[in-house]
A and B are shown apart, each in its own frame.
Chain A
Amino acid sequence: MSDLLSLIIAKYNYWLYVILMMIGLYAMIAKNNLIKKIVGMNIFQTAIILFYVSIGYKTNATIPIIKSADTGHGMVVRAADYINPLTSCLMLTAIVVSVATFGFAMALTVRIYRRYQTLEEDELRMRLSE
């Protein structure tokens, strides 16, 4: 038991990301309202961002912007002083993708609402089968 506990404490942020992601996935599959599904989708994508940012973190390191002391000639930049810049860079892309998908999905719901006057999936299905 204490093994498991220490395992969780050492990696709690990974556990958190999985829980957050599963909340999003559950909302995407089980919810009936389209907006709720889209919000679930956003949570799902945000969880991935949390995961990547956790990968890049290092203890006792600072943000990846060079300190002014290191900019002189002959100064050595120590990698352990800065957190991993690559994951932040990748997540910039992922954020943009999730924003784009979110915006587009919102535009679609506007279209659907204008056509059917509802965003509940079961009602939409009824309207379609008519």
Chain B
Amino acid sequence: MPGAGAQTATESISAEDQELYRLERVTSPVPTDRNTVPHAQGVRRVWGVSTEPAFIENLYANPAAADAWRSTSGLFGGLIFASNEIDALKVHAEVEQDALPADTWAQAYFGSNYAGGYLLGPELHLLCACDVRGASDALRADDSVKPYVIDHTVFEQVQYSLADLSQLGQEIRRFLDESDLRSNGYGTTIEANVVELFVGPQSTAGLEQEVANRFAGRPVRVTAQPEDVAPTVSKTEPLIFNLVEGGQAMDNSSTGLPLDCTSGFAVQGGYGPFILSAGHCGYAGNSWYQGGSQVGVQTSRNFGGYFDGSLITTYGYRNNYGHFHWNANYYGESISFVQNSNNIVGQSICQTGYKQTGLDGFNTTCGTTTQNNYTPPYGDTPFQPVMLLSNYGTIGGDSGAAVVWPTALYGWGAVGVHSGGNSTVGVDSRLDYILWIWGIQLTPP
């Protein structure tokens, strides 16, 4: 019987490695589709092994002859690999295992100039928009990072910090939203030190040129993709895991209409989870639906005084998701903070009502808040002069919608619940008042 680490004539990978990485031979051909090889190439590049298409195809088609293996635990990126690639994979895996302390160290050491880190083959690359001379010695002096990782760390000087690229990403996103341009989404590509915008067949024609014009001289790269890989979800479609969130079109089954109002925010309190919407949209006991399944039953209605709000208990029906539907591309936006509406006047806020913004949400509807002491001319009882008035338009169906404040630095702020208005003004209840008076809080993202 061979000892640990020994190899027999029939075992091309040691028994120790087989056990440690839970490896098994692949003996039968593995079905592939047109995405298999491109996907494998991408993963293999990162792991530092061959990206040759013919080699990869042979591993799948003739695994026994190619001496193909894989980890039953999904290690090594789930790759099917040849036995002679195991050493390269192990190096990458071990660097990856202990890379986090080095990356954390780099963030602290480089501060606001930190430009990210990435693994490629056997190396950990740490980037800075600064002079990186001396960084390697400084890292070596840090006890929290294993010497093995330090030996495989490469420092790179780049032009843009991660904060620069994040800021640029927000600008691109606003540009796309405000210009109603459709894309496959964008992301920061650390390795290339750029923001990468992806376009597919259904993306807006001429988008590449539009972006080139708008962001000339900025680190933006447009990459064409063969498919529209970014899934779109409308405000009437259900989310996975039976989730329900703000900004979705809802149906009150008591009215006979297909859609009645828009959801505000996912909230929770001592009585459990709720979806917050507008009070005038329904009455206690009404059943509400979204995406073909029940959101829950309305338990509360307040239409006058300090706010126009309702609570729909989702307990036993849906899972509360502390996010909101901005548009069909960004339908799981997280909320960073609840805005204190005492100082919201003069700020630009946006409503997410399904009617005005459209079921895809692409008709972005924002305006400036002009009053935080407005009294609307309606209500079961007179309103106190505490409502928000803004100069954005609204149509029937928007009521209850999440009203949010987009900020470049801090993300989305939750401002209010849409109540009413007309084609030129919007009226909202202050979210901070509703949360305070009803003793509830936003469901954490």
A binds B: no
